[in-house]
Structure 1
Amino acid sequence: MTSHRRAGWTRRSVAARAAALGTAALGTAVLGAASCRSALAAQGSGLASHAARTGRLFGTAVRSPDLTYNAGTRDEVLREASLLVPEYEMKWEILAKSPGSYDFGGGDRLAAFAERHGLDLRGHTLVWHLALPSWLPRQLDAREAKRLMEEHVTAVASHYAGRVQSWDVVNEAIDPQASDGMRTSLWMQALGPDYIPLAFAAAARADPKAKLYYNDYDLECDTPDQDVRRAKTLEILTKLRRDGVPIHGLGIQGHLQAGRWPYDAGKFARFLRAVSALDLDILITEMDVSDRLLPAPEAERDATVAGLAGDVLRTFLAEPRATGVLTWGLSDRQTWLNDLPTHRRTDNLPQRALPLDRNGRPKPLWTAMAQAFDAATPMR
């Protein structure tokens, strides 16, 4: 569930990140990416350093005002992350307040911050059923829907071409309750399932060097709905690959809910292997762990949250095509789960859903994530 509060290494980004951390020994331009990763892993103690030990990324969703005006958040990001994704500043309703007129200011500030500090940047999101501008009609014929969607994808992806390492091209296209498994969206109603390959083709034309991902949620746990979502995801990915559509990976959002659903490591591992068999990378893109259903004591909540996250991440990081993990914010003071009535705790205690507490201190969830990265299977 992507809200408004809500890969691969390049030689340039790794070397720049290491330089930002004060590494003097990286030296020459011929230093290979693997050597860069090893050098980076020796620096600092943030989650990105733990991830880099097996060639992976750790990142977080951010908002440009926080990076500009909140020194605490800025320091946390620079300590912990190697990859950033905008929480809301690349969504259509934010970018285009009127037809054909784009304001890229927020996204550009994030891109500049990432470049200045040697971080990678991920784009989110090009085609979604939510965050649509108010001027966009809610019903379109096929020709107009195709034109508007492709023009938007082209405008945004071409603007950030060469600055964004990957895109969530299509977000949340599946509805397990629908007879065909597809969400009834503006795009689905006008174009049918063909909107998905059309969006990927437009993104590839606009930014041929970016990695292109399909992104969805509720793919980890053991419920009938999630069984359907996993099966439909594999069906979509298989067809895209068979038809030669330019897609490079699957984004698994990772919005976990402690105490709600059972977790079956074997079932999740089989799904990951099936995605990998399609020659696709896999990235956890928006991880947090809701403690809404857990008892009030913080220590009990923290232990349960860390236990579930550790279980899921150990399964995920055993897959060699798992490229990294992003959380939807770093500190509990940033979590969107405290903003919506449907996600708040009924006792009104703030949720403890992210690796750092409200003061930026590592919690048991941080430790579980670091340990999962340390034990991860090397990437291939």
Structure 2
Amino acid sequence: MNHQKSRLGLAVLALSLSVTPALASGQAPSLRTLASARGLLLGGAISGELFNADNPDEAATINREYNAVVAENAMKMRAIANSPDPDNYLFATADAMVASAQKNGQTVRGHTLIWHDSAPAWVYEIQEKTAMRAAMTQYITTVVKHFGNRINIWDVVNEAISDGPGNPLRNNNPFAVAGPDFIALAFRMAHAANPAARLCYNDYSVEGLNGKSNAMYALVKGLLADGVPIHGVGFQSHLDTNFSVRDSGMQANLQRFRDLGLDVQLTEVDVQMVGSGSEKEKLARQAQVYGELLSTCLAVKCSAFMMWGVSDLTSWRAGGKPLIFDGDYVKKPAYGALIKVLQTAGK
């Protein structure tokens, strides 16, 4: 298929997207249909490709298969706030994505309010505690109120824990200027701006029982003890076909967060194909990992299973062919594995 990258006006194309029709008699159920029947949010990250008229398969796949979406980049701070002036915040792309989701009956996860890797230059210029706290408060309040009840799930803080020995908080996080309680501040401000929203901490390499997931557990347990309004934890799950759900202790890890009364969500799932073997063997192993991830998610009564993209064509890890649709939007064995789990798990 020929998938060109030209784009038309976001607003015009957003309005052209239609709600996924009801299943015709005898038609196989979609992921969306099966997930919705379980009360599970299942979907993925969307980009400007949603509005690419030369690639209609993107929008068609999203609207057929996903009951939830998350902006891959359009809601990050660098995309919205190149200027500290809230009158100059850039919401057009994100608004178009939300409008499309509303039109198609999809839930939107907000991603992400505070992340060191998406901070624009002006944030790094702030070196005084009071000024940083004021800037964080202004940004979070403006963004969360802008979307209001159109977005009731937010990744408030993303990737604040380092990968270094002992897994302390990152020492390169510009928001730390606001003080050691900057994470708690972010959650309190988001809650004040939208008391109805479910607020999450999100991170990577925390899927199994390990030092980093222990650090995350201690972090969120401390936030809860201090009365901070945190409601969920996002496990990104950027993995490869060598990952073992069993050997990593993933179910026990997720369960301990559920036992704190928190929502558990897999938020950025993709599984790169690596190692030796034929393409068929790699696809089978990828399908196995996807199936085990969803089974584990359901076993702990997770509330969301989100993939980081739609097809291998536009994935940020395209070389590893990590998603459930190939570059031509054809269903891979991993798609069938998810369908099977949704049809059979717990029955």
TM-score per shorter chain, which class? 0.7 to 0.9
More divergent stretch after superposition (228-237 vs 137-146): 137-146
Alignment of structure 1 residues 79-98 onto 2, 5 Å: 79-98=64-83
Counterpart position of 1:306: 287
- Asked if 1:209 is matched to 2:196, the reply is yes
Q: In the alignment, which residue of structure 2 is the partner of 1:332?
A: 312
2:340 is equivalent to residue 371 of structure 1: yes
3-state SS in 1 of match to 2:184: helix
Q: What is the distance in 1 between the residues matched to 2:292 and 2:220?
A: 25
For residues 257 and 172 of structure 2, the distance between their equivalents in structure 1, rounded to whole angstroms, comes to 25
Q: 2:272 corresponds to which residue?
A: 290
Cα 1:377–1:129 change in 2 (3 A) is farther
Alignment of 1:1-380 (within 5 A): 20-23=19-22, 45-69=29-53, 70-100=55-85, 101-137=88-124, 140-179=127-166, 181-187=168-174, 189-221=176-208, 227-259=210-242, 261-264=243-246, 267-291=249-273, 293-295=274-276, 297-320=278-301, 322-338=302-318, 350-377=319-346
In the other structure, the counterpart of 1:10 is none
Paired amino acid for 2:58: T
Q: Distance in 2 between matches of 1:370 and 1:152?
A: 40
Q: Which moved more, 1:248-257 or 1:137-146?
A: 137-146
For the 8 Å contact 2:160–2:173, the answer to whether it is kept is no
Distance 2:126 2:84 in 1: 16
What does the per-residue CA deviation read over 1:343-372, in whole Å, with 9 as the maximum and x for residues that have no partner? xxxxxxx32210111111111111112222
Contact 1:114 1:121 in 2 (8 A): yes
Query: 3-state DSSP class of the match of 1:20?
Result: coil
SS state of the match for residue 305, structure 2?
A: strand
Deviation for aligned residue 1:209: 1.4
**TM-score scaled by length of structure 2:** 0.87
Distance in structure 1 (CA, Å) of the matches to 2:204 and 2:81: 26
8 Å CA contact 1:319, 1:377 repeated in 2: no
> In structure 2, do the counterparts of structure 1 residues 67 and 180 end up closer, same or farther at CA, with 3 Å as the change threshold?
same
Q: What is the CA–CA distance in structure 2 between the aligned matches of 1:122 and 1:311, rounded to whole Å?
A: 23
The question of whether the paired residues in 2 share the 8 Å contact of 1:317 and 1:372 is answered with: no
Kindly provide the CA deviation profile for residues 97-120 of structure 1, in whole angstroms up to 9, marking residues without a partner as x. 222120100000001111111111
Q: Is the 8 A contact 2:245 2:251 kept in 1?
A: no
How many angstroms apart in 2 are the aligned matches of 1:180 and 1:59?
A: 30
User: Which amino acid in the other structure matches residue 359 of structure 1?
Assistant: D
Deviates more, 1:47-56 or 1:164-173: 47-56
Taking structure 1 as the reference length, what is the TM-score of the superposition?
0.80
- TM-fit CA distance, 1:152: 1.0
Structure 2 CA distance for partners of 1:377 and 1:151, relative to 1, 3 Å: farther
Which deviates the most, 54-63 or 294-303?
A: 294-303
The verdict on how the C-alpha distance between 1:43 and 1:185 changes in structure 2, with shifts beyond 3 A counting, is farther
Q: Cα distance, 1:236 vs. partner?
A: 1.1
- In structure 1, the gaps of 5 or more residues are 1-18, 24-38, 339-349
Count of residues in Structure 1 that have an aligned counterpart in Structure 2: 325
Q: Distance in 2 between matches of 1:214 and 1:43?
A: 38
Q: Flag structure 2 segments of 5+ consecutive residues without an equivalent.
A: 1-17
> What is the Cα deviation at residue 44 of structure 1?
5.9
